[in-house]
């Protein structure tokens, strides 16, 4: 069996766009006619440019290769151009292709991917979701309202979720780490207080940030929300100096979680060795794919750290996350996005059931991709998957925050 053909589909989720402006889906076909699906979570260049990168990696390293040879494919790509170092763009391309290879292998053997990773350990995968506006909420006001956030948390609680994530501490600026404004600290405390009072001990609070603070600023904010016992303090500082995570972890009595912008086991292992995080959040469509993150889970075990796969993408990456989660002992919780488009794109083949995801039983990733639906929603914009603002933090007025929803132009 050899890899023979590649199709790339860039599909755009309908408004309000939970999951980003677009998702890059990869369709690999073997010379025996087996189709495997993958998803590339790479957002540093436009999707049209990314298509060229993906196709180059495929034609250079994957074409006419046996999809079983995951290790060889990884080493070829990781070493590409005399580099042998983590590269978000190249490893993003590789990750999507690698996930598709596992889908093919599972289908060829008539077994779920988790069965090829050491077997089933977790029959139910604990899930969490961001707090999104309910139908009755004004979407613009929602991001500033601790009361609306608490209502959204209660809605998730009623649906069986045992953890909720929110990130009211914007802005996300390209200028690097900044000191939070006092308004942002006050808003963050108000959200934690309101949500904790609403859910009580029935759900964990997952406090999200996106690397926007200086080390000292992250410590100030983290200490302010400590009384509400969040399960984690997510990516409090930029990911370009892993040593600084240690300072935050040592100063704040909340577990530090990070990883959505890291790539390969090498970067994660350095973070673990330093003691900078105890919860790792790899995005499988960027971090090296299924096998690389299976290796990471073993490294994390040695450091008594847990894995919480990140998701701000489509349901194919989600499926890959679930199979890794089903097979590892140090799994904590998996991010989930429930929208009609996410569900329809995989024809409801994997769903959250009372706050947990049953381990898929169908061969491969266990999903059936609606290719016609993906093609019917092409991306026609010029923005990136997510973007940071140019303007600095505003210390005189409230900072604008849109909860990860890309603006519609």
DSSP 279-343: EE---HHHHTHHHHHHHHHHHHHHTT-EE----SS-HHHHHHHHHHHHH-TTB--EE----HHHH
Which tens digit of pLDDT belongs to each residue from 153-197? 999 999 999 999 999 998 989 999 999 999 999 999 999 999 999
Measured distance CA(361)–CA(363) in Å, rounded: 7
Tokens (6 digits) for 272: 């673990």
pLDDT, residue 387, reads: 87
pTM over 0.75: yes
Q: Judging by beta carbons within 10 Å of its beta carbon (0-12, 13-18, 19+), is residue 190 exposed, middle or buried? A: middle
Measured distance CA(100)–CA(364) in Å, rounded: 9
- Domain architecture of the chain: domains with CATH: 115-364 (3.20.20.120)
pLDDT, residue 406, reads: 53
Catalytic residue among 210, 323, 342, 385: 210
User: What percent of the chain has a predicted confidence (pLDDT) above 70?
Assistant: 98
Measured distance CA(114)–CA(74) in Å, rounded: 19
Catalytic annotation on 409? no
pLDDT, residue 404, reads: 56
Q: Judging by beta carbons within 10 Å of its beta carbon (0-12, 13-18, 19+), is residue 76 exposed, middle or buried? A: middle
pLDDT, residue 409, reads: 40
DSSP 51-113: HHHHHHHIIIIITT--TT-HHHHHHHHHTTTT--S--HHHHHHHHHHHHHHHHHHHHHHTSBG
Tokens (6 digits) for 153: 């948390």
The total of other beta-carbon atoms located within 10 Å of residue 47's CB is 22
Catalytic residue among 310, 323, 342, 385: 310
Where the chain has pLDDT below 70, the residues are 401-409
| Residues 126/109, Cβ–Cβ less than 8 Å | no
How far the first Cα of the chain sits from its last, in Å, is 45
């Amino acid at each position: 069996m050899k890899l023979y053909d590649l199709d790339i589909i860039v599909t755009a989720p309908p408004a309000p766009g939970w999951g980003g402006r677009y998702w890059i889906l990869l369709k690999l076909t073997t010379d025996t006619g087996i189709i495997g699906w993958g998803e590339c979570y790479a957002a540093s260049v436009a999707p049209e440019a990314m298509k060229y990168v993906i196709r180059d990696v495929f034609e250079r390293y994957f074409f006419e290769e046996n999809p079983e040879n995951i290790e060889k494919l990884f080493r070829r790509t990781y070493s590409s151009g005399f580099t042998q170092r983590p590269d978000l763009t190249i490893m993003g391309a590789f990750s999507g292709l690698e996930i598709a290879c596992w889908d093919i292998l599972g289908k060829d053997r008539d077994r779920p991917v988790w069965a090829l990773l050491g077997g089933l350990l977790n029959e139910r995968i604990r899930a969490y979701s961001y707090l999104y506006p309910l139908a009755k909420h004004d979407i613009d006001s929602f991001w500033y309202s601790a009361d609306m956030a608490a209502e959204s948390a209660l809605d998730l609680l009623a649906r069986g979720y045992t953890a909720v994530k929110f990130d009211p501490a914007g802005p996300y600026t390209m200028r690097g780490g900044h000191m939070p404004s006092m308004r942002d600290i006050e808003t963050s405390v108000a959200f934690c207080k309101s949500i904790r009072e609403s859910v009580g001990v029935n759900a964990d609070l997952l406090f999200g940030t996106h690397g926007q603070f200086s080390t000292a600023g992250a410590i100030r904010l983290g200490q302010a929300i400590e009384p509400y016992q969040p399960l984690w303090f997510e990516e409090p500082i930029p990911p370009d100096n892993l040593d600084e995570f240690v300072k935050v972890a040592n100063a704040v009595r909340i577990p530090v979680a990070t990883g959505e912008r890291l790539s390969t086991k090498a970067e994660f292992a350095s973070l673990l060795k330093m003691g900078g995080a105890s919860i790792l959040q790899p995005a499988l469509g960027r971090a090296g794919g299924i096998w690389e993150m299976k290796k990471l889970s073993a490294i994390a075990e040695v450091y008594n750290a847990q894995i919480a796969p990140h998701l701000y993408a489509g349901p194919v990456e989600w499926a890959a996350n679930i199979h890794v989660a089903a097979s590892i002992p140090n799994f904590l919780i998996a991010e989930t996005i429930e929208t009609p488009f996410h569900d329809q794109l995989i024809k409801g083949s994997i769903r959250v059931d009372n706050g947990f995801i049953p381990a898929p039983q169908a061969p491969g990733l266990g999903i059936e991709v609606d290719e016609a639906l993906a093609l019917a929603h092409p991306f026609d914009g010029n923005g990136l998957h997510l973007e940071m603002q140019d303007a600095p933090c505003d210390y005189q007025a409230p900072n604008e925050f849109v909860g990860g929803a890309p603006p519609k132009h």
